[in-house]
A = this chain, B = another copy of it.
Amino acid sequence: MIPASVKFYLASQSPRRRKLMSLLSNNFSAFSVDLDEVIYPDEDPEDVVLRLAEHKMDLAIQQAGEGIVITGDTIVVLDDEILVKPVDEEDAFHILSKLSDQSHSVYTGYSVHNKVTGKRISRFERTEVYFRKLSEHEIRDYIRGGSPMDKAGAYGIQDDYGAVFVRKIEGCYYNVVGFPLSAIYLAIKEII
């Protein structure tokens, strides 16, 4: 798919992104960059994720070796409100209650940068996710399991509960997991 000789540097501490990366190549190192993810008022979702992915890239290329560097940033948007990771369990309950019986958008900004040639592509991907109506009991059970706490929008579509909360999606599934595989693969092909 991608020549095994190409070395990748994935700047993400997300175990989900690392797992998805391994579908593209096993020749990669993962590390995290330290960035305070500020969101400005009235900033459009696509601008937020592109800016953060680019900002992470500016930091990541200083830490990465020679090869292809990849960064990403994911947010969830419901009725113009940006939902990030929950701060505590009550916040997770609040977020999931709002997502219930509604559709929301998942935006991921991603950046791929070839450190050898200096070529860089930064784009975003959007997927619409439709939740069925959730019971308070289901939400409490899911939070008790701990999975919502490290995830934008307080759910993982690949989780046990997350999977059965989602009625349908429109767009790239892997984008909702946190890494739009197909789009990133094509971007890599362009700069390789």
- Residues of A bordering B, CB below 8 Å: 1, 20, 23-24, 127, 132, 138, 141, 157, 159-161, 163-174, 181-182, 185-186
Query: Given A23-B164, A163-B174, A163-B181, 4 other A-B contacts at CB below 8 A?
Result: A23-B163, A163-B182, A164-B181, A168-B170
Q: Is the interface of A mostly helix, strand, loop or mixed?
A: helix
* Bound-state Cα–Cα, A160 to B25, Å: 9
Hey, which chain B residues are within 8 Å of A141, CB to CB?
1
Minimal beta-carbon separation of A24 from chain B (angstroms): 7
5 intermolecular pairs with C-beta atoms under 8 Å apart? A24-B164, A164-B181, A167-B172, A168-B172, A169-B173
Q: Is the beta-carbon distance between A186 and B23 smaller than 8 angstroms?
A: no
Q: Give the contacting residue for A132; candidates B24, B160, B168, B182; CB below 8 A.
A: B182
Return the contact of A182 from the options B159, B166, B181 (Cβ within 8 A).
B166
Which chain B residues lie closer than 8 Å to A163 at the CB level?
20, 23, 174, 181-182
Q: Which residue of B lies closest to A135 (CB)?
A: B189
Output the nearest chain B residue to A165 by Cβ-Cβ distance. B182
CB A121 to nearest CB in B, in angstroms, measures 16
A167 contacts B138, C-beta separation under 8 Å: no
Residues of B within 8 A of A157 (CB): 173
| Complexed CA–CA distance, A20 and B159 (Å) | 10
Give Cα A172 to B1, complex, Å. 27
Shortest distance in angstroms between A108's beta carbon and chain B's nearest beta carbon? 13
